[in-house]
Homo-oligomer: A and B are copies of this chain.
Amino acid sequence: MKTKTSFFAETIAIGSELLVGGRVDTNSVFIADKLASVGIVLRFKSIVGDQKQDIAHAIRVAVRRADVVLMTGGLGPTVDDCTREAVASATGYRLTRRREALDMMTTRLAQWGRTPSPTQLRQAMIPTGATVLNNPIGSAPGFSLIWKKTLLFVLPGVPREMEPMVVHEVVPRLQAWLSDHRRTSTTPIIRQVFHTFGLPESDVDAKLRGLLPGGVKIDLGLLASPMEVMVSLTTRGTGAPKHRKAGHGAMAEDALLPFAREIRARLGDWLFGEGADTLEEVVGRTLSTRGLTLAVAESCTGGLISHRLTQVPGSSVYLDRGVVCYSNQSKMDMLGVSEKMLARYGAVSAEVASAMAKGIRERGLVSIGLSVTGIAGPGGATATKPVGLVYVGLDTGTGGNKTQEFHFHGDRSTIKLRSSQAALDLLRRWLITSGHT
């Protein structure tokens, strides 16, 4: 499967908890991104438990079908951690205690006022011929080696140790190795991602029909989830000669440019963000830039909107407060919703959503009040109000107010997620409109 023009990678995630403990391997998501940035295609992912023979088997399979193999996990000090031994067994390279590895470990532990325990000394056992990789966070060094022309990287499984090691140890070595192995320099895979909310996948598909003329080497992808329909464009550089190195990324991005522009034009304000944008960051940035402040009143989302907004560093600048008003009494006490209104329209109604938004805005003395009330289920439905009925409200005082009705499907957690997205999207749309005036 090896060719000289495309380089393929495989990840191997090691740990029995990834097979039976309900955990999933997320390290490979981070790694896939970094590989793409240097033009390497992630082609297979393998996940294996803590058995030495199974890890060795996965290594042998990976080395046959990939040019680069990145292993994560099983480098700890306990007997469960046998990745080092598995690499030795698969490759035939002997493990020896390596001075550099021991020094790194000793230095790291000394920072915490500790010395290596006898079991930790195992972490300095490295296959002969391997290069030791510095772990800037934890005590377990990583290593890399070449076996049967495949480049193997062995890294700890803890994300906050693995991630800086990929950036500072793996990527530079990959770049050097790539430029040794082909006349053309690395041509990054360029992937551009667009996030929409509010349109069903089939409508997004219809809007993008005929976007790419035949023969263009660009892939268009659509991916629906409860929070969005994601659109992606993927291409890679054309492998121009070495002296044009600096221009490659730019060239590939240039190729996407007209199509990215067309996507923006066709999707218009259904598009809420691009790349790593989240909706809470997008609205946060606008609020921050325009010096607006926000307060949130949540019923069925139960605090999720505030939680999402406060995931963004610096959100304290624009988010003044939030209330979770689960009981009717709390809607009256904290937001001034009248008992009469609750009795007449019910807590799940456009009228109450509107009153909640006004109430939180006035009490918070903020620019914008945002509210949600709905039935997340599985209980709480009535003959006229089914599970999934949700109202969002927005009040901006003299800037106007609006409410919107939604009918969501799914379990409690999905309905909460979609409701929070709908509320933030209503806010985003108001920010666009009011920004134009």
Contacts and interface: CB of A to CB of B under 8 A. Distances in A.
Interface in A32-53: 32, 36, 42-49
A292 B7 CA distance: 61
Contacts of A19: 32, 42-43, 45
A325 interface: yes
A307 B420 CA distance: 11
Interface in A1-22: 1, 16-22
A333 B43 contact: no
B327 A320 contact: yes
Contact of A44 (B36, B58, B309, B364): B58
Given A16-B221, A32-B20, A316 B327 contact: yes
A321 interface: yes
A303 B324 contact: yes
A204 B19 CA distance: 23
A24 B20 contact: no
A307 B311 contact: no
A43 B49 contact: yes
Most buried by B among A25, A54, A327, A365: A327
Interface in A308-328: 309-311, 313-316, 319-327
Interface in A56-74: 57-58, 61, 65
Interface residues of A, number: 76
Interface majority SS (helix, strand, loop, mixed), chain A: mixed
A342 to B, nearest CB: 15
Contacts of A49: 43
Contact of A314 (B16, B379, B416): B379
Contact of A42 (B20, B319, B333, B376): B20
A17 B223 contact: yes
A349 B377 CA distance: 38
A316 to B, nearest CB: 5
Nearest to A23: B223
Contacts of A44: 46-48, 54, 58
Contact of A303 (B48, B310, B313): B310
A320 B311 contact: no
Contact of A321 (B36, B325, B412): B325
Contact of A309 (B47, B234, B302, B305): B302
A223 B76 CA distance: 12
A281 to B, nearest CB: 13
B43 A46 contact: no
- Most chain B CB inside 10 Å of its own CB: which residue of A20, A24, A36: A20
Identify the 3 closest CB pairs spanning chains A and B, nearest first.
Answer: A302-B310, A303-B306, A303-B303
23 contacts: A17-B221, A19-B32, A19-B42, A19-B45, A20-B32, A20-B42, A21-B223, A43-B48, A44-B46, A61-B61, A160-B410, A296-B324, A301-B310, A302-B310, A302-B311, A302-B315, A306-B306, A310-B326, A311-B413, A311-B416, A316-B327, A321-B323, A322-B323
